[in-house]
Amino acid sequence: MRYLPFAMAAAVAAALPASATAAEDPYCAYVKNRAAADSAVLVAPELIGSAGLVNAGSEITGDGNVAFEAGMRLTLGLRYDFVELYRGLATRRVGEADCRRHLALRDLETFLEAGRQAGLGEAATAQLEVLEELLPQAEKRLQQVRDEVQAGRAGIEELNATQLRVAELRNRAADARLAAERAQPADTG
């Protein structure tokens, strides 16, 4: 008698869906609950029954004939299909496997993203240092080309090309500065 409350608590805990007992990933909760719902139909026994009138001989008359009386017959039962049971349990295992696959894929994506972000701050800082060393030299070369164009020793195409190169260096330096600033709190924390 003292095991009855424990048995009732175990039965209630087994009847609860997995998502009610532990916090899970929403996708896993969906897949497991869907698999449990699909398998519930497959593992449940089937109730069968039939009812009808049956003619059964109840007494023999004096002339050798049997007098038939109509009687009611009711047949009830449970039928269990072991192939459906196997399919139901396999459906649950598929839900569990899909959840494990999803969690592994999520962990892999997290790992790859962390690897992509590793060292970005140092790389951006190093790139910024190199570009800041090159910018004064590029500005000086641009001024030289302007002077050569004014003196007639260089063409306008060379001036335009040099201006584009210097502008690209400035843009790359600004991008590197921004990337270094963004990555700095992640590197220090």
At 165-179, the pLDDT tens digits run 999 999 999 998 888
Find all residues with CB under 8 Å of 154, minimum gap 6, and list them: 145, 148
What are the tens digits of pLDDT across the range 108-163? Answer: 998 888 777 777 778 888 888 998 999 999 999 999 999 998 988 888 899 899 99
Give the CB-side neighbour count of residue 58, counting CA atoms within 13 A: 6
Measure Cα distances from 69 to 32, 62, 66, 74 in Å.
56, 17, 10, 16
Q: Does the structure show a pLDDT above 50 at 10?
A: no
Average pLDDT, the chain: 79
DSSP-assigned states of every residue in 25-86: -HHHHHHHHHHHHHHHHHHSPEEEEEEEEEEEEEEE-TTSPEEEEEEEEEEEEEE--HHHHH
pTM: predicted TM-score of the whole model, two decimal places: 0.46
